[in-house]
Amino acid sequence: MPRRKILRGLKIILLTILVGSSVVFFAYHLAYAEKVIPGVGVADIRLGNKNRPEVESLLEKKFGQRSLQPLRLTTDGQTFIYSLADLGVVYNLNGTTAAAFKVGRCGNLVRDLQTEVRSWFEGVELEPVLKIDNPKLDGALLEIAGELDDPPAEAGFGIMNEDLEIREAESGRVVNQEKLKATILAALTNFSTAIVEIPFEDITPKITAADLETVKPQVEKILARPIKLTYGSLSWAPTPEEILTFLKFQKEDTAVKIETEENALSNYIQKIAAQVNREPKGDIFKTEGGRVSEFRLATDGLKLDEEKTAQLLSAAILNSQETVALPVEISKPLRSANEYGIKELLGVGVSNFADSIQGRINNIQTASAKLRGILIAPDDTFSFNKSLGEVSAQTGYDVAYIIKEGRTVLGTGGGVCQVSTTVFRAAFNSGLEILARTAHAYRVHYYEPPLGFDATVFDPSPDLVFKNDTANYILIWSSVDVPSTTLTFEFYGTADGRTTKMIGPSVSNETPPPAPVYQEDPTLPKGTTQQIDFAAWGADATLKREVYRHGELLHNDTFTSHYKPWQAVYLVGTRQ
CATH of domain 210-331: 3.10.20.800
Proportion of the chain above pLDDT 70, given as a percent: 87
The arithmetic mean of pLDDT across residues 431-454, rounded, is 93
The arithmetic mean of pLDDT across residues 527-547, rounded, is 90
The secondary structure of residue 152, as a DSSP letter, is -
pLDDT in tens, 339-362: 677 878 899 999 999 988 898 999
Residue-wise DSSP of 381-405: EEEHHHHH---SGGGTPPEEEEEET
Q: Does residue 401 contact residue 357 with C-beta atoms inside 8 Å?
A: yes
pLDDT in tens, 158-212: 888 888 888 887 888 999 989 988 888 888 888 767 788 999 998 888 888 888 8
pLDDT range class, residue 500, cuts 50, 70, 90? very high
CA atoms of 425 and 447, how far apart (whole Å)? 10
The Cα angle at residue 312 between residues 311 and 315, in degrees rounded to 5:
85
pLDDT range class, residue 22, cuts 50, 70, 90? very low
pLDDT in tens, 458-487: 888 899 999 999 999 898 989 999 999 999
Whether 48 shows a pLDDT value over 80: the answer reads no
Distance of CA 415 to the CA centre of its chain: 26
Q: Does residue 205 contact residue 170 with C-beta atoms inside 8 Å?
A: yes
Answering whether pTM is above 0.95, one says no
pLDDT in tens, 284-297: 666 555 544 455 65
Whether 450 shows a pLDDT value over 80: the answer reads yes
Report the run of H or E that residue 131 belongs to, with start and end. strand 130-132
pLDDT range class, residue 325, cuts 50, 70, 90? very high
pLDDT range class, residue 14, cuts 50, 70, 90? low
Q: How much is the mean pLDDT over the chain?
A: 84
Closest to 533 measured CA to CA, from 366, 405, 407: 407
Boundaries of every domain in the chain: 1-30, 32-152+168-205, 210-331, 337-575
**Ranges 24-33, 138-147, 522-531: which has the least confidence:** 24-33
Whether 20 shows a pLDDT value over 50: the answer reads no
Whether 9 shows a pLDDT value over 70: the answer reads no
493 pairs with which residues across the strands?
A: 344
pLDDT of 123 reads 72
CA atoms of 89 and 181, how far apart (whole Å)? 11
CA atoms of 290 and 152, how far apart (whole Å)? 68
pLDDT of 100 reads 73
